[in-house]
A and B are shown apart, each in its own frame.
Chain A
Amino acid sequence: MARAEIAARTLRTDRWWLPPLTTFVGLLLISIYAAFRTFQGDYYWVDQYHYLTPMYSPCLTEECIPAASHFGQWFPALPGFLTPPLLIIPFLLGFRITCYYYRKAYYRAAWASPPACAVAEPHDKYTGETRFPLIAQNLHRYFFYAASLLLLINIYDAVLAFGTGLGLGNIILLVNVSLLAAYTLSCHSCRHIAGGRLKHFSKHPVRYWAWTQISKLNNRHMQLAWASLIFVCLTDLYVALVASGTISDLRFID
């Protein structure tokens, strides 16, 4: 028996193309900004107020400004156009790329697989995440562990900056780590590790409680993914503007 003979790719009459287009443009703009700042290799540290942009934290090579290297300079200066963030970006990027929300976002927006529900995808063949390279999406767990470590480092940086007083930059760094923490905690892997993997919730009341709390955050995973991503860029922009002398930091307590 055959399917109903309907030639149209979709009969949807709403603007189904708008969400994937918005996602695509949003991710593209953020990628361009992040690439520019990564390869700029400058304006990442405000010496006067100890602001370090999260994009360059931890700064681990010998070309880093010594005061910005809170954890030492473990590696020699990178050759050519390579900059210190290239050592940490694979982990941060890996965490976002393998994230269950972002997978949905870019599978739809960038790969049209599918572009929207009940809209036919343009590919002849589909094997999903059953084989290389997409089977590597299962590495999300590794990246979650790495991103959690980097989050702790970002929190340390933000707390350290309070040693010079209180300015708008401190507030921005604090909001940034709060959003990053909320995004990381709301991760599906985190939810699973906390309690989702259990078969008997009733035998593990503490983990069940943790699971219910993380589940509440997990309901907002998409919003937290976007909020934290955009705010990292805004935090970096603020630090870059202050570090370059374009604007001065608004100080509340010195």
Chain B
Amino acid sequence: MSYQGKFRVWRGDDSGGALEDFTVEVNEGEVVLDIIHRLQATQAPDLAVRWNCKAGKCGSCSAEINGRPGLLCMTRMSIFEESETITVTPMRTFPIIRDLVTDVSYNYTKAREIPSFAPPKDLAPGEYRMQQVDVERSQEFRKCIECFLCQNTCHVIRDHEENKEAFSGPRFLMRVAELEMHPLDTADRVDQAQDDHGLGYCNITKCCSEVCPEHIHITDNALIPMKERVADRKYDPIVWLGNKLFKRS
């Protein structure tokens, strides 16, 4: 069950580029990354594409297929009509290096800006046993494969390059949430999230959750709970009254 599929692939670098048309053989059971590899092997040996595991676990082959952010290795060809022209483009939010490869170092910069896990200073190794219910909560966030599709899709930086400085993006706000929800973490993550990582920029339109290949509920389980913690501290009338009445700081 093979057919000749029509493809438009973005070729170029930071000095310019355009969509180029190709016709490539498609076989049953293949994914888009198979087609890109066949294209490299048969027609465009210099086509640049970043990939590694081909199993949806390394997060390398993030791109946009028919305008939708996704992993090339997890997008099955069977979801398209045989007559359809499939467009493959690099992630829009990050600077282009060449063809389908982008420079994702913005993400590593943001990762470094998050202070690491801060357990109590007087806690000896092995002294604390973490319970399963406490582990499970942040375990969801640790499924992240750092494909940066959520970062790429988030309109806060996708449509507004100028926000990159102030906004760390859903992946790293989720990292802050993971630390904040850890029973032993003593750092003040709430003010950090709001002031240093731009939580207020998020308008919870949930595109990060929509594109996550690991199906992490980024918005519902990380971003909104962080916004609620900010509300606890700054906007809750009952907490405010309690603080006033009982002279809590």
Contact = CB atoms under 8 A, between A and B. Distances in A.
B165 interface: no
Interface stretch (B34-42, B111-119, B226-234): B226-234
A128 B231 contact: no
B200 A129 contact: yes
B200 A189 contact: no
Given A118-B67, A197-B228, A208-B133, A130 B220 contact: no
Interface string A176-219: 00000000000011001000110111100000100000000011
Given A118-B68, A129-B201, A138-B231, A1 B206 contact: no
Contacts of B64: 11, 118
A253 interface: no
Nearest to B85: A13
Interface in A105-133: 107-108, 113-114, 117-121, 123, 125-131
B241 to A, nearest CB: 12
Nearest to A188: B224
A196 B228 contact: yes
A108 B234 CA distance: 27
Given A114-B205, A114-B207, A218-B220, A4 B228 contact: no
A4 B92 contact: yes
Contact of B96 (A3, A10, A135, A142): A3
Interface string B60-103: 00001011110000000000000010010110111111000011
Contacts of B232: 192, 197
B92 A3 contact: yes
B103 A1 contact: yes
B203 to A, nearest CB: 5
Interface of A: 1-6, 10-14, 100, 103-104, 107-108, 113-114, 117-121, 123, 125-131, 134-135, 138-142, 145, 188-189, 192, 196-197, 199-202, 208, 218-219
List 4 A-B pairs, minimum CB-CB distance, nearest first.
A11-B67, A1-B95, A12-B67, A202-B131
Given A119-B67, A140-B231, 18 more contacts: A1-B14, A1-B95, A3-B93, A3-B95, A3-B96, A6-B89, A11-B64, A104-B204, A107-B204, A121-B155, A128-B198, A128-B200, A128-B203, A129-B202, A130-B200, A131-B200, A138-B230, A199-B185
16 contacts: A2-B96, A11-B66, A12-B68, A107-B203, A118-B68, A118-B153, A120-B155, A138-B235, A140-B231, A188-B224, A192-B228, A197-B229, A199-B183, A200-B134, A200-B183, A202-B183
